[in-house]
Structures are given as C-alpha cells and as structure tokens.
Structure 1
C-alpha cells in the first residue's frame, strides 16, 4: 500500500514519484503572451514557434459544474492507453532526456508562465489543457515541438497519438516552478523555502481500506490569469468511477503559497470513505524512532506530525509514526478550524542531508471554509523501510457520506509554508523521544517505556521548577503512567515532560494524552501520542520471552 516516489511501482500512478524526476527540468527565456491579448491573436506566436489552439469555446465555472454533473449521470469511461508498450519504454532515464522547450512557454498571466509534462511510463493518462481569456477557453493542441528529445527516444514512437500528462507554473524568471499538477489528482508546491516535499490531492476515496483505493483524476485543466492577488486561477475537471467534480484553485505565490480551493462534487456511486483536502507525505524515522533505521542521517521525513485546531479551540499535536502495520487513527470533531501535516523540525543539523534538504520541506495547513459539520480528521500511517515511499495520508472524513446521485460543495484554504500559520499562545511540541523505562542505576523493567516530550513557546519563558507547572498525562486501559515529571531544560526556556508507561497487557497500540498545566490552565498544546510497543520489543511474544 505504499505510494511510489522514485521506484514507481503501480498502483497508484503517483505524482510524487514522477515529480521527483521532473523537478530538475527547467527552462528559460522567451514567452508566448496569451492573457494580455485576445485569443484570436494568441494563435499567432513568433514565426519560429508554432503553437496550435483549438477553437474558442465559452467557459465559466458554472459551465464546468454542468459538465461534471452531466458526466456523473453517465457510466465512467476509463482512458484508453493506445500503446502501453511504447509508454513503458519511456522509463526514468528516458524521461530525464525529454526537455520542455523554453520558447514554447505560455503566459497565463504576468506571474504564471506555464509549461507542460510529457507522457511516460509513470504518467500514462492523457490530460487536456486549455488557456482561458475572459469568458473563452482554447485547448492547447499537443505537438512534439513542445519538447526536445534524443533521436532514439522511445517517446518518438507515440508522437502521432501522444498528449500532455500535466503542467507546472514557473516563476517569472523561468528558473524554477512553484506549483505542479501531475498524475491522478495530485499536485504540490515548493513552499516558502523552495523545496518540494509532500503533495496533496483533489480527493481521496477508500484510502487505507482492505479494498483497492480509488484514484479519480483531473482529466481537463483550464488555466487563467489570477485575480485578487492570485498568480493563477486553475480550473479542473475531476472524473473517476464513483465521482466527478468541478474544481477552482486560486493560487498565490509569495513567502510560500496560499491556494483557495473550491469544488463541487457529483457522485455516481456511494463511497465508504471520502477524504476531503487529502495530504500525502513521507515519514521514515526521526528522533522518536531512530532505532528503526540503519542510515547515516539522524532523521528522514517530509513531515513529522499532524497538527489540529478543533472546532472547540483545542490545539493538538500528533507525532507521526512508522508502525509495523497499516494504522488508521480517527480524531472526532465538528467544524474543525484547521489541520495539517507539519514539518516542524527545520534544523539542518537534525537531518544532515545537503542533497534533498528535508529541513526545508513545506508544511501544509488546511483552513475549512463554510460549515463542514461533524466528522473526523483521519490519519493513515503505512509501514516503510525507505524514504522513496509516501506512507502518510491525512484528510477530513465527513460523518454523512454522499449517496449516489447527490452533490457536495466544499471549500478550504491551503497554506504551504514553513510552519503552522495560526500557532496561538500555547507552547508547541518540538521533540518526542522514547527509551527504556525505569531509573538509571537500577534494574530496568522489561514492560516499561519512557516518553520524553519537549515543549517550546513564549508562555514558558521565565518559568522555573517552583512556579507550579504540572504534568498532565493519561493513557488507556491496560497502561499505568509512572514517574510523570515536568522541568525546564537547562540553559533554555523550553520544558520537558517525562513519564514511563507500564504495560499491563499485550496491546499492540497505546494512545496517550499529555500536556503541561499551571493553575488549571494549559500551557501547551495537547500531545496525542500513539505508541506501538512491538517496535521496541515490548509486546506480545517479545515481552513474554523477556519475562
């Protein structure tokens, strides 16, 4: 169930893996101006560049919604791959050699130069891309002239029936891209520190279940100049076996990216699990579970935790785990104020990777718009033994699932940055560590696990051991909390909460809740840890043998 990032196994057709090989393809220089001129003039670029457009057609978001509604009333038709063997030949190395031609860049607006991706083994489905000006759209006709490729490239065998696989929006200097759509409904931006990492999707269906996950895909894009501070407005048609949808993305690029997402979904069939605002990331190991990896780097992950701000105002931090089996965690809520996968640890010293810079990976924070009602944030964690797989998924699951024939409107703001936009006044978690329970110098018990949580924040500054800071720790049945203590970390204003968990049963999973309190008021966010004793040799047969 792991999602390929570099190895590219199927299923699914994974945007993260493909983008890892494509992100180095950059272009520079000449533009073809589109948005500044009427569409009739846009079909006549410079003489040496021939870009063909389809006929002008009326376009609006209402038109796209009507198209999605009509499609939902018809049986789903999967794309036909004309020459799968030829596409298979466009492997990792062959795709590296296919370069987008700089003189075929199309300007959707002054801050939105658009370039396209070629089809390949990992992005096999054709995508229609149109440019919007005013109330009209014209499809960009695929041509081999968009790409430079070696004479012996296997891509030349499909040129008579090839299509675009996706697109990216470049920065005005054309040296780097900042948002890219490629594969199913995947897309991503490079965040505040211009380093790609995790990705998001338009929709997730039946994720983490025993049955195969369904991957609806964006089949059509309509790209326009942005409005009200956005660099680009991107419309997309979603289509899959169970659902169709009309999407609008207003994407602003600055110190990170802010994307306003609106979607209308039409259901052909009912679904068992519907993921709204899904995020996909990678977590292999950190200071929390360093024992799981034999690797020279101290930590390897795109994200290190799930942050939540509940509808009731509670701030929650759930450190990510790399379990020994697929684990789905549900956090019940109503009208959540926000949630997201964060990369809080941004110190290079804690990664030591000067090739892919995990310390610069973007965090993604979701701020719902409108009434989302009751439901749950779900976190799916999948075992991994390498960094090449995306093994973390998080999304909102509404309590009431749409039935066949029903429609659903959703809207949210998506913030890509270096941290959580609304951190509040409470101190936040900066590290979670596990170790052997008990007291140094005394025999170590075989059924205890030590947990240490570090908190940082202005509210803790100046507080000392005599200021009434109390540890608040609770765990589920079958677990006893021992030696809970809180103290300031020497030489800093940070605090450390430490406790041992004594295991009374062979439970495979332990859920623990902890925070710091002073005079009946929380000083920190709530730490919700999920501990898997088996990973530390503390459950089942391993613990029985040690006893």
Structure 2
C-alpha cells in the first residue's frame, strides 16, 4: 500500500457544511451490544462489495471523494466536523456510523450519492449499493489556525486509528487490539462494526466503537483532546470467545526502513527512513529503557517482562529536516505515541515485533502490552490508558539522556561491529556498564566527551561467535555509588541480510 500517497490523498474538499438528516435509531448501549455479541458465535460479513465500490485499484479508490455537506465537513458540535469515508480497495466491510443530533445520536444512512466519482475511473453510478457501508471517519478540529478545521484523527481499516497534534504529519497508527501479531499463525484483525461520536464538551470529543472478530468482541471508549500534543483517554473492554494467549493491548503500529544503526538495508539518498526509531519503556520498577528499532533480516519478537508498566511508546527522536532529507514525507514532523496505563495492569510484557521490509510503504513495527495470563472465554477485561501523540521526547529521569545510537562494520576487523551511543552531559565520574547475553566478545569500550559540549560518546566493539541473536545492554553508572546515571540502552543484534555482522 502506498502509505505516503494514500495519506496525502485523504483530505476532503473544502466547502461550507450543510445539515445532514438523521437516520435510523441506534443501540442504546454500545458496551452492552459488544457483550451481547460476545455471547454469540462470530458472524462475518459475507456480502460482496457492490458496484461502484468493488474491484477498485488504488487510483480509482482515491477518485471517490465525500461531498461537502453530505459526507464531508459535517458539523458535530462546537469546533468539530467529520468526514465519512467510502468503502473499497482495502476497506470492504461496512461500519455503522452514528453522529450526534439535538435529540440524540442517529445512524447515518449510506448511499453512493454522498460521494463524487472521478469520471476517468467510473461510468454511471447506481442509486443504491446494497450491502455497502462507510469504511470509517475522519475528524477535523482547528489545530493550527482558529478558522481552519484541520484533520486531527482518522479511523479506517480493521480497528486502526491515527491522530496528530499541532504542526504534525500523519505517521504511526494505533489499534483497539492486536491478535497473534508476530506469532506462528496468521494474524487476526478485529474490525470496527460501529462508531459513535458524542457531542463535544470543553474542547474534547468522545467516540465509542464496537469491535468484532472470530476470537473476541470488544468496545473502545476514547475521549480526544486535540492541541499542541493530542491526548486520548481510552478504555478498552475485551470479551473473548476463546482462550487468547497472544493478545496485544494498546498496540502501536509503525514503519522503520533504515537509519544509522544499519543504513545498508536500503541504498537510498536519505539518511533515515522511518516513522519511529526507538521503543521507550518506563517499567514498574521505575527504570527507563531505550530500545532502538531495527529492520532485521528475519522477523524478531522481543518481550520486556514487567509488573505494572508505567509507560511505553514508539518515538521519532530526530526532529530536523536534515535528519531525513525528505521534502514530501515530512518524517521529521511525524508524531511519537506514548501509552500510559491507568491503574495496575499486573504482570505481563511489553512486546516489540520487528518485521523485515525493503520498502517504506509497509508498516513493519508493532509494540503492545501482553498480559501474562491468557484471556479466558466468557470473561471480561478492561484496560484504561492515556495515549499521547507528541513531538516530545520520552521520559528520561537519570542525569544523562540518550541522544542517538549508531553502528557499523569495523572494516579492518572482519566479523566485528562497532556501536556508538551518544548521551547528554559530561562523562566525568561515570563509566559504561556493558553486557551481552550470549557467545560474543565485547572489547574496545570507551567513553569520552564530544567536541563543542555536545555530550558524551560511548563506543564498543562486538564480535559474535556462531549465534543468530544477541541481547546487548548498556547503562552509565556513577563510579562512586554504582547507581545508574542514564537510561538503560538495549539492542538485539541479528545477522545482516548478507549473513555478515
């Protein structure tokens, strides 16, 4: 999927909104609806997508546009409007969408005449499209100028949604839930069946969704507060139909093609190509973990075991245009996303899945929370958390902050790779504590001040010994007390695509 072009083409026409008439009555309680669905066998959507939405290629799908006042720029309360998105291409399944009206929420009836169709891709458009429905919605709010309703959030495809704050460009996504991600069997994608917008209050807007799949039903309740950073308060209720050991709670999905940890993955004029480059975790013990993301030669899944996590997120660290040299993609303006659990989520692990890719048009990075105990059929599980979409940096409480990570082959020492970690502050009275969990030699450890007061550089050489993966760990320690003076830097080394180090 052409992610960049798809997002660029997602903007609707600009025109004065008109009132949309209310549709049919809706369920009174969406959480109750999800509970009722979970007690029944899963019923997939088996209705084929009808013309004019069936059999579209990418360009034809982009040629369908919501009409202003009919499916675009529909006012839903002070400071907000919504665009309703057409079916087709990757989005065949209908989503029932309910919008607020003075007498409550009402379902919006679907019809082809809510959209315009580019004549070069479409002939006569039928009056009806039985079985078709909206594929999602796009929410607008005056983020950057008080008189312009900018895009702030999109929900479309499975249970995916993404959001931005001020001066941001769309990047990574979130989901209501993940199932089987990175596992040995095909991943299952629960999808939204219902979306309900509530009237905005105090600059915030609430949205509910019902999700369904063969393995579970569920409900998500989010309150969106757009701003410099856009914050969501989310409650997800999961209702398993079967035992689920491979659940992913609060999943984040991103893209990483290449960066200075292994630039040779892609022969490209740009120094970096990614939506996120670091997984940051604050665990239940208060430790700050910093895990650079990779594009490995084979699928990798890493589990960071914890009890009551404080926060985890996928971060885009470099923020200068020169870090990416991409005038179109605006990678330097793409948001990071941080999950902060509400209450104690108990024992489990933050899981990072890294999938090999040779293109920037594939989302290949996923991070989520996985409870230690499998979810049992007939049970109910609620997870509450905040989700911040931000240009800010992760929490790094210790005196030194990690600034960047780099690595490359040591060309005069075959089979050896050099790692470089830059941190803020001076190295006086501090030493790096570096370890590896498998058959490998670490040598050439050094820590020294960078020129012009730019901080401290830690460097070392790694020579693997007949192994397919190694876990590296580095933390700066105070020479006198032995206490950590930096976040804990973590990295999984795996062989390169050519089999080398």
The TM-score range, normalised by the shorter chain, is: over 0.9
Q: How far does residue 85 in structure 1 lie from its aligned partner after superposition?
A: 7.5
1:31 to 13, 17, 26: 17
1:510 to 466, 470, 486: 470
Q: How far does residue 422 in structure 1 lie from its aligned partner after superposition?
A: 3.6
Tell me the equivalent position of 1:523: 485
Distance 2:114 2:221 in 1: 26
Tell me the equivalent position of 1:142: 110
Cα deviation 1:237-279 (Å, max 9, x = unaligned): 1111111112111001100210111122111111230000001
- Contact 2:335–2:390, Cα closer than 8 Å, also in 1: yes
CA RMSD of aligned residues (A): 2.2
1:480 to 441, 459, 462: 441
- Contact 1:226–1:250, Cα closer than 8 Å, also in 2: no
Tell me the equivalent position of 1:169: 139
Tell me the equivalent position of 1:107: 75
Distance 1:423 1:157 in 2: 57
Instruction: State the aligned residue count.
Output: 491
Kindly report which structure 2 residues correspond to 1:419-458, keeping only aligned pairs within 5 A, or say none. Answer: 419-420=392-393, 422-437=395-410, 444-456=412-424
Structure 1 gap segments, 5+ residues each: 7-15, 33-44, 46-50, 439-443, 540-547
Specify whether residues 175 and 111 from structure 1 end up closer, same or farther in structure 2 by C-alpha distance, changes over 3 A only: closer
- Contact 2:51–2:126, Cα closer than 8 Å, also in 1: no
Tell me the equivalent position of 1:262: 235
Q: How far does residue 432 in structure 1 lie from its aligned partner after superposition?
A: 1.4
Question: Matched residue of 1:390: which SS?
Answer: coil
Distance 1:19 1:183 in 2: 13
Distance 1:350 1:510 in 2: 28
Distance 1:306 1:259 in 2: 20
Relative to the length of structure 1, the TM-score reads 0.85
1:198 to 154, 172, 175: 172
Q: How far does residue 124 in structure 1 lie from its aligned partner after superposition?
A: 0.8
Q: How far does residue 131 in structure 1 lie from its aligned partner after superposition?
A: 1.4
- Contact 1:18–1:122, Cα closer than 8 Å, also in 2: no
- The question of 1:469 aligning with 2:430 is answered yes
The runs of at least 4 aligned residues of structure 1 exceeding 4 Å deviation read 16-19, 172-175
Distance 1:288 1:238 in 2: 38
Q: How far does residue 413 in structure 1 lie from its aligned partner after superposition?
A: 0.2
- The question of 1:500 aligning with 2:488 is answered no
Q: How far does residue 286 in structure 1 lie from its aligned partner after superposition?
A: 0.5
Distance 1:174 1:143 in 2: 28
Question: Matched residue of 2:476: which SS?
Answer: strand
- Contact 1:326–1:380, Cα closer than 8 Å, also in 2: yes
- Contact 1:191–1:361, Cα closer than 8 Å, also in 2: no
- Contact 2:4–2:329, Cα closer than 8 Å, also in 1: no
Distance 2:434 2:51 in 1: 58
Relative to the length of structure 2, the TM-score reads 0.93
Question: Matched residue of 1:262: which SS?
Answer: strand
Question: Matched residue of 1:108: which SS?
Answer: strand
Q: Which deviates the most, 242-251 or 93-102?
A: 93-102
Distance 2:460 2:263 in 1: 19
- The question of 1:95 aligning with 2:57 is answered no
- The question of 1:20 aligning with 2:1 is answered no
Q: Which deviates the most, 404-413 or 189-198?
A: 189-198
Distance 1:269 1:323 in 2: 33
Tell me the equivalent position of 1:81: 47
Distance 1:52 1:538 in 2: 63
Q: How far does residue 137 in structure 1 lie from its aligned partner after superposition?
A: 2.0
Cα deviation 1:475-527 (Å, max 9, x = unaligned): 11211221211111111231110011132x21111110002222322221110
Specify whether residues 133 and 409 from structure 1 end up closer, same or farther in structure 2 by C-alpha distance, changes over 3 A only: farther
User: Greater share of helix residues, 1 or 2?
Assistant: 1
Q: Which deviates the most, 376-385 or 76-85?
A: 76-85
Distance 1:153 1:131 in 2: 29
Distance 1:534 1:310 in 2: 30
